[in-house]
């Protein structure tokens, strides 16, 4: 298995189905789903490291089942890390998240991780029987349970938002006894930065809509709290950033080609001008060198970081254009950014986490733990561990007792 460590570069998709304003053509759901697979495979072929898909349960988005799509992509790739952007921690049952993403971890051979978030669609809460006014407490409690389900073989649980669990074992157990790596994604919420720091998880700053000062405050808080919880110096925290770019060989062509898509995009169309938006946010519309200059400077704003994802398949851009954009990004921008962001990188700044490196950190050169059900076959009725070697799977960070209670 050849996983990408060091600095990781890739794509993130919000899975929108949007009319192409230059042709009036709107792709079907089937076309966009197949296009996502094509884009992910092309990203690997071009040399990118990660493909991440969002989770939505309403039109005009298609990605209601990220694990199904990502497992399909993982089966057709060899090196690509598949991820989410984001998995809804508030409206999914933590038991289902534990099971589905552990299965994805096994099927991908560890080439996966996931980003937890609350999403940006308010009506999703009642659709799944939840109250949006409890969004933040749900995020805290649900992740506390998920963490236990992945790091303990047998879980006893009682919280506020779901029925208790007694002697419960989530199956399959995480691959090699190592839970999937989790990024906590946030646009604006300091409590999520605090949560990521508490568990020693990654923090992903969306970084596509707001000025840099906003994300600087969130990332600085995360780094400070990472150190507070004893995970290491602030610069050892695991940070990811979002981004947006549209490239052409010269900036004039990029601006001309992208303007109709920007002006009609569902998210920011009919709002600020493209020039104002690119000045206020990391969106960069221009030549490869302009994108290099903009994103090489991210380290000055946020410190050394581990993952950079770009949004490129949105706003109605046709598949042919998206594939051309990937070629420009992977061929002319990313190789330079890899070198620039590696220069003078302090020795204590960790590489991006991968399953292989995390397994080695726990087991060294020894064999990894493999879960094997024992005599009771793990029927979730017997309180004892259903696993022959018993005990909790190795965990990356301690889970404090206070966080197990609702609203902690």
183: helix, strand or coil: strand
* CA–CA distance, 337 with 115 (Å, rounded to integer): 23
- Tens of pLDDT, residue by residue, the chain (408 residues): 345 558 999 999 999 999 999 999 999 999 999 999 999 999 999 999 999 999 877 788 888 899 999 999 999 999 999 999 988 888 789 999 999 999 999 999 999 999 988 766 667 767 666 666 776 788 889 999 999 999 999 999 999 989 999 999 999 999 999 999 999 988 778 889 999 999 999 999 987 777 788 889 999 999 999 999 999 999 999 999 999 999 999 999 999 999 999 999 887 878 899 999 999 899 999 999 999 999 999 999 999 999 999 999 999 999 999 999 999 999 999 999 999 999 999 999 999 999 999 999 999 999 988 888 765 555 565 555 555 554 444 444 333 333 433 333
Residue showing tokens 């380290």: 299
Classify each residue of 92-108 as buried b or exposed e, where b means 16 or more C-beta atoms within 10 Å of its C-beta: bbbbebbbbbbebbbbb
Question: What is the domain partition of the chain in residue ranges?
Answer: 8-404
Classify each residue of 237-269 as buried b or exposed e, where b means 16 or more C-beta atoms within 10 Å of its C-beta: bbbbbbbbbbbbeebeebbebbbebbebbbebb
Residue 401 confidence (pLDDT) = 35
* Nearest to 155, CA basis, from 380, 396, 407, 408: 380
Residue 86 confidence (pLDDT) = 87
Q: How many CA atoms lie within 13 A of 254 on its CB side?
A: 22
Angle at 75 between CA 8 and CA 5, to 5 degrees: 20
Contact 204, 242 (CB under 8 A): yes
* CA–CA distance, 31 with 105 (Å, rounded to integer): 27
Residue 199 confidence (pLDDT) = 96
Helix (H) or strand (E) holding 288: helix 288-296
Q: How many CA atoms lie within 13 A of 344 on its CB side?
A: 4
371: helix, strand or coil: coil
Hey, which CATH number is domain 8-404, 3.40.50.300, 3.20.20.30, 3.90.440.10, 2.40.50.840?
A: 3.20.20.30
Angle at 107 between CA 103 and CA 108, to 5 degrees: 115
Cis upstream peptide for 60 (omega within 30°): yes
**Phi and psi, residue 271, nearest 5°:** -120, -130
Residue 119 confidence (pLDDT) = 63
Residue showing tokens 């409690």: 141
DSSP structure class, residue 389: T
* CA–CA distance, 228 with 213 (Å, rounded to integer): 23
What's the predicted TM-score (pTM) here? 0.90
At 369, list the tokens.
């733990």
Contact 208, 214 (CB under 8 A): no
């Amino acid at each position: 298995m050849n996983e990408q460590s060091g600095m990781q570069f890739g794509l993130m998709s919000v899975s929108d189905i949007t009319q192409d304003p230059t042709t009036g053509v709107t792709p079907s759901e089937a076309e966009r789903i197949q296009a996502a697979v094509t884009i992910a495979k092309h990203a690997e072929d071009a040399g990118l490291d990660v493909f991440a898909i969002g989770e939505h349960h309403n039109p005009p988005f298609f990605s209601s089942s990220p694990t199904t799509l990502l497992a399909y992509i993982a089966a057709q790739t060899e090196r690509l890390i598949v991820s989410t952007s984001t998995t809804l921690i508030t409206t999914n049952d933590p038991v289902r998240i534990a099971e589905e993403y552990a299965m994805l971890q096994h099927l991908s051979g560890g080439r996966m991780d996931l980003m937890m978030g609350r999403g940006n669609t308010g009506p999703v809460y009642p659709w799944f029987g939840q109250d949006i006014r409890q969004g933040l407490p749900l995020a805290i409690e649900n992740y506390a349970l998920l963490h236990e389900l992945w790091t303990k073989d047998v879980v006893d649980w009682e919280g506020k938002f779901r029925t208790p669990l007694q002697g419960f074992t989530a199956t399959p157990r995480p691959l090699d006894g190592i839970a999937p790596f989790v990024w906590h994604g946030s646009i604006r919420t300091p409590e999520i930065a605090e949560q990521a720091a508490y568990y020693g998880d990654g923090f992903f700053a969306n970084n596509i809509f707001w000025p840099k000062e906003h994300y600087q405050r969130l990332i600085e808080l995360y780094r400070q709290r990472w150190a507070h919880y004893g995970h290491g110096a602030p610069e050892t925290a695991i940070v990811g950033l979002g981004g947006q770019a549209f490239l052409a060989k010269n900036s004039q062509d990029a601006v001309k080609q992208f303007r109709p898509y920007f002006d009609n995009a569902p998210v920011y169309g009919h709002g600020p001008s493209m020039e104002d938006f690119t000045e206020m946010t990391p969106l960069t519309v221009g030549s490869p060198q302009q994108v290099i200059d903009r994103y090489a400077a991210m380290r000055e704003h946020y410190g050394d970081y581990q993952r950079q994802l770009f949004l490129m398949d949105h706003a109605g851009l046709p598949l042919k254009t998206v594939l051309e954009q990937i070629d420009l990004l992977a061929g002319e921008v990313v190789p330079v950014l890899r070198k620039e962001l590696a220069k003078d990188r302090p020795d204590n700044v960790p590489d991006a986490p991968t399953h292989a490196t995390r397994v080695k950190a726990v087991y060294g050169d020894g064999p990894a733990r493999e879960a094997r059900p024992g005599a009771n076959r793990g029927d979730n009725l017997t309180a004892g561990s259903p696993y022959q070697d018993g005990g909790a799977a190795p965990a990356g960070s301690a889970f404090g007792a206070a966080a197990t209670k609702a609203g902690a």
